[in-house]
Amino acid sequence: MKVIVAALMFCTMSLAQPAIAADRPRNIFDDDWTPPKMTEKPRPPVTVIPPPSTPADPPAKNSTPKPPSPKPTPAIPIAPQPPARLPVPAKPGQAAVRQVMKEVFAEQLADRSIPARRKLAAALLAQADKSSQVPADQFVLLAAAIDASVDAINLPAALEAADRMADAFDVDGLGVKADAALRLGPKSSLPDAAAENIEAVLELSRDLARADDYATAARVCAALQPAAATTPVLRAQLQQRQRELVLARDAADRFARDLAKLKDSPDDPAANLAVGRYTCLIKGEWEMGLPTLAKGSDVALKSLAARELTHATTPDEIAGVADAWWDAAAKQSDAASRAAVTAHAASLYERSVSGIAGLRKVQIEKRIAEAAKLASSVPMKVASGNKRVVNLLKLIDPKRDGVNGIWEVNGSSLTCGKERDSKLGVPYDPPDEYDYHVVFTRNEYKETVQAMFSGNGHSAWLVLWGDNKINFGVQKVDDKERWANVTTGKLDTAFKNNQRYDCLIQVRKDSVTALLDGKQLFNLKTDFSNLEPGGHWKVRDAKLGVGANENSVTFNVIEVIEVSGSGKPTVSPAR
């Protein structure tokens, strides 16, 4: 009850604060509209400074000229960096573009109905894509698409347009998105759009929380309450998220105080425990947090952290440490902490399972699957903490990246037709360790749905197929096809059309694990040198990809969660 009261107080106080861009007129179609402001610290352009050349020494008098030195080996080319974002165009230029836009779209602007505003938003976005060479046009069109989406009570479309604006221009992307959510909120009670608007605002609140802006995260959730007024399930989701934000905000405040205390008293047991719990359980940075847990005041956690820091090496030793964390998870007082500790135990199990046999291996695989299911059931995924999540859909240009088949972007998703061997390469080089997260919906079935991953310079495909049962396997392992290698298997689950499936491929330096809807498909111990796509499965130089064979498939989510290191786009954002 105290948490609920605190959550309501937090949201009430947050709503009492001035809204983001409160002085901004509400719509670009108004004559006195004020555009989003630039960020306070614009990102500097990325420049590559060549190494200084060494001047040649003048030849000595009467000396014999030396033969020319052989040409040095060319340096490895530096991968192109995405260009810096453009400054917000000057107001006079925007004003001129707005007048032209109103004339061009006069007929569409005259119809203020929700369906018409949805069509207008889509038309504005399409024209913005065609206007990338004229920054003032592109900026105004994107701003207009945001406002048309707000009028259409379509938060996902507004956030998509805001993402494109933040990709191209130096604006506060989260601020623009939060502003759209706050303006849409009071009129968000349209039943048909409630679910998609709530899903969008929950995702926005997670992005704001990752930026430590808990007040705005709570404010946007509270603003969308009208959307959930008549639907108990949606209302419960918003209330749960608001409670989580209260806990996260309080934890962040305490962490800052405890960290300051450790600077003066590095051996303080209570401060070490608090910092260790936050670093491990909230941020998910166990390697960094274990030393502080080992100096903390919680006897059980102190002992476990010290045991792990002894650096167990054999599979049995690592699994033994995982067992201890698994048991400790059940003793945690809240669901988020239980999920975080369970996820850490599962990560240790994943390191050991390939070296263990028999019933013990079955037990470990079962626990790994249970941990994945638990993580997906906790809305605030503490275990993933502040790890960077890269939305790869924003990078994809179907015309450029599609290899076979017909690919189309539909709002915030990507769809392929039912042509043969449809494949698309994602223009992104992942870090050394990462989770490749793909959520898809099979619209029509004939053969396969697949996702390409890579590690240590080698790529392969996770392939799913079947109807009455879900078959799976990697193409290829040890030169063996997907239906005849160590990863081949089958789930006792029907593969249905028009149903979302959540696929997670966990790539680590020495292994790859695949899960579907929280169920582990396989855990393969590998250095990746025995993996290859083979033949027509290759997708140019791409490291990641998606595809299907004679299936119409919609890819609702394509993202990377960085675990170790940082990835990078190989092109500028397309959307």
- Yes or no: say if 475 and 534 are a contact pair by the CB < 8 Å rule: yes
Rounded Cα distance, 524 and 510, in Å: 9
**What is the crossing angle of helices 155-168 and 194-210, to 10°?**
40
Mean pLDDT lowest for which of 115-129, 277-291, 376-390, 501-515? Answer: 376-390
| pLDDT greater than 80 at residue 385 | no
Does residue 59 carry a pLDDT above 50?
no
Look up the pTM and report it: 0.53
Residue 313 has pLDDT above 60, yes or no: yes
**Nearest partner of 175 among 208, 197, 209, judged by Cα:** 208
Position 27, amino acid: N
Cβ contacts of 71 within 8 Å, gap of 6 or more? none
- Report the alpha-carbon distance of residue 495 to residue 445 in Å, rounded: 9
Q: How confident is the model at residue 19 (pLDDT cuts 50, 70, 90)?
A: very low
Give the residue carrying structure tokens 């399409």.
Answer: 126
Q: Residue 312 CB: number of other CB atoms within 10 A?
A: 18
Closest CA to 391 of 365, 426, 357: 426
Confidence of residue 287 (pLDDT cuts 50, 70, 90): confident
Segment (H or E) for 187: none
- Cα separation, 342 vs 280, in Å, equals 12
Q: What is the mean pLDDT of the chain?
A: 81
pLDDT digits over 445-477, tens only?
Answer: 778 999 999 999 899 999 999 888 899 999 999
> What b-and-e string marks burial along 519-538, b requiring 16 or more CB atoms within 10 Å of the CB?
ebbbbbbbebebbbbeeebb
Q: Please, which residues bridge with residue 553 across strands?
A: 416, 442
352, containing H or E segment: helix 335-352
> 45 near 83, Cβ under 8 Å?
yes
Structure tokens at 299: 């006897």
**What number is the average pLDDT over the span 379-385?**
42
Cβ within 8 Å of residue 204, ≥6 positions away:
159, 174, 177, 178, 181, 217, 220
Q: Take residue 313 and report the two structure tokens written for it.
A: 């090496």
pLDDT level of residue 352 (50, 70, 90 thresholds): confident
- Counting every residue written for the chain, the total comes to 575
Q: Rounded distance, CA 431 to CA 569, Å?
A: 11
> Distance between CA 372 and CA 516 in Å, rounded?
10
pLDDT tens digits, one per residue of 219-265: 999 999 998 888 888 888 888 888 878 877 887 888 888 889 999 89
Percentage of the residues of the chain whose pLDDT score is greater than 70 = 82
DSSP annotation of 538 reads: -
DSSP tag of 384: G
**How far is the C-alpha of 10 from the C-alpha of 218, rounded, in Å?**
8
Q: Please give the structure tokens belonging to residue 158.
A: 């507004």
User: How far apart are alpha carbons 325 and 240 in whole angstroms?
Assistant: 27
Amino acid at residue number 453: F
Token couple for 561: 């969660």
Q: Where are the alpha helices (DSSP H) in 135-268?
A: 135-151, 155-168, 173-184, 194-210, 214-223, 232-264
Of residues 272 and 70, the one with the higher pLDDT is 272
Residue 8 has pLDDT above 60, yes or no: no
Does residue 32 surpass a pLDDT of 70?
no
Beta bridge mates, 38: 171
* pLDDT band, very low/low/confident/very high, at 294 (cuts 50, 70, 90): very high
Q: Domains along the chain?
A: 14-41+86-248 (1.25.40), 267-384 (no CATH), 389-569 (2.60.120.560)
Residue 72 has pLDDT above 50, yes or no: no
Torsion of CA 228, 390, 502, 549, to 10 degrees: 130
| Alpha carbons 415 and 74: distance in angstroms, whole number | 41
| Assigned token pair, 45 | 């352009």
What does the DSSP assignment read for 323-345? HHHHHHHTT-SSHHHHHHHHHHH
pLDDT of 473 reads: 95
Cis peptide before 119 (omega within 30 of 0): no
Distance CA 149, CA 143 (A): 10
Q: Where residue 12 falls among pLDDT bands split at 50, 70, 90?
A: very low
